[in-house]
Amino acid sequence: MAIKDNIKPTRSELIELKKKIKLSQSGHKLLKMKRDGLILELFAILEKAKDIRTEVEKQFALASLKLAIAKSVEGLIVVKSTAFALKDTPKLELQSKNVMGVVVPKIQATRVHQKLSEHGYGIIGTSSRIDEAVDSYEILVEKIILAAEIETTMKKLLEDIEKTKRRVNALEFKVIPELNEAKDFIILRLEEMERENTFRLKRIKG
């Protein structure tokens, strides 16, 4: 914030500028705390994201194997007819929660992984191979839903961390230094003006 030499600042302007500096420093401190808190939250989420991704990959491999076994034992037509017999669909409800001021999604899922008797097809006419395949895929869907929630949360946190970092840097390296520079200049000009007035008064008295 540059102030020209011909400008004559006042004490009230200096007081207002000091208030701005104090407010900016306070905002800078709070934003740094928020940034650090968000980074800690992100690290915790990263661990969960790694774990759930590993679980999804393992469950996908298991579900694929179970399906391949069911197809080879029961035949493709039986597997497809069983799939068409599944009428009940999972119910998803998208909610939200607040993490350090960042709104992130929370997915409530019901009727995803169900009991054998709730699958919707006649268990008498099917084998355990099909039941195992259905069970494995239901568990896989549950894990995918959880992974979607965790990875979306991670993305939201990353976006807000970057935004907060930019604001912290703007205050630290631009706004506060410019305000301090302006304050120093005003103090210097006020001192010069005071000396000039003192010198003028002495000349008048002389």
Residue 120 confidence (pLDDT): 62
Instruction: For the chain, report the end-to-end CA distance as a whole number of angstroms.
Output: 40
- The Cα–Cα gap between 25 and 129 comes to 66
State the residue for tokens 């912290």.
168
Residue 27 confidence (pLDDT): 96
Tens digits of per-residue pLDDT, 144-203?
A: 999 999 999 999 999 999 999 999 999 999 999 999 999 999 999 999 888 888 878 877
Asked if 189 contacts 27 with a C-beta cutoff of 8 angstroms, the reply is no
pLDDT band at 2 (very low <50, low <70, confident <90, very high): very low
DSSP string, 116-129: GGGSSS-STTS-HH
In this structure, what are the phi and psi dihedrals at residue 146, rounded to the nearest 5 degrees? -65, -40
Q: Which residues, in sequence order, are bridge partners of residue 99? A: 102
Read off the pLDDT of each residue in 20-49 and give the average, rounded to a whole number: 94
Residue 3 confidence (pLDDT): 45
Q: Of 82, 58, 59, whose CA–CA distance to 70 is shortest?
A: 82
- The Cα–Cα gap between 121 and 126 comes to 8
pLDDT band at 123 (very low <50, low <70, confident <90, very high): low
Read off the pLDDT of each residue in 126-147 and give the average, rounded to a whole number: 88
State the residue for tokens 């009940």.
88
Q: Residue 21 burial (CB < 10 Å; 0-12/13-18/19+)?
A: middle
Tens digits of per-residue pLDDT, 60-112?
A: 999 999 999 999 998 888 888 877 777 667 788 888 889 888 999 888 887 77
- Which is more confidently placed, 118 or 8? 8
In this structure, what are the phi and psi dihedrals at residue 117, rounded to the nearest 5 degrees? -75, -10
Secondary structure letter of residue 124 according to DSSP: T
User: 26-158, what's its fold?
Assistant: Helix Hairpins (1.10.287)
- pLDDT at residue 5 tops 60: no
Task: Give the number of other CB atoms < 10 A from CB of residue 108.
Answer: 11
DSSP string, 149-165: HHHHHHHHHHHHHHHHH
Residue 1 confidence (pLDDT): 44
- pLDDT at residue 52 tops 80: yes
Residue 33 confidence (pLDDT): 95
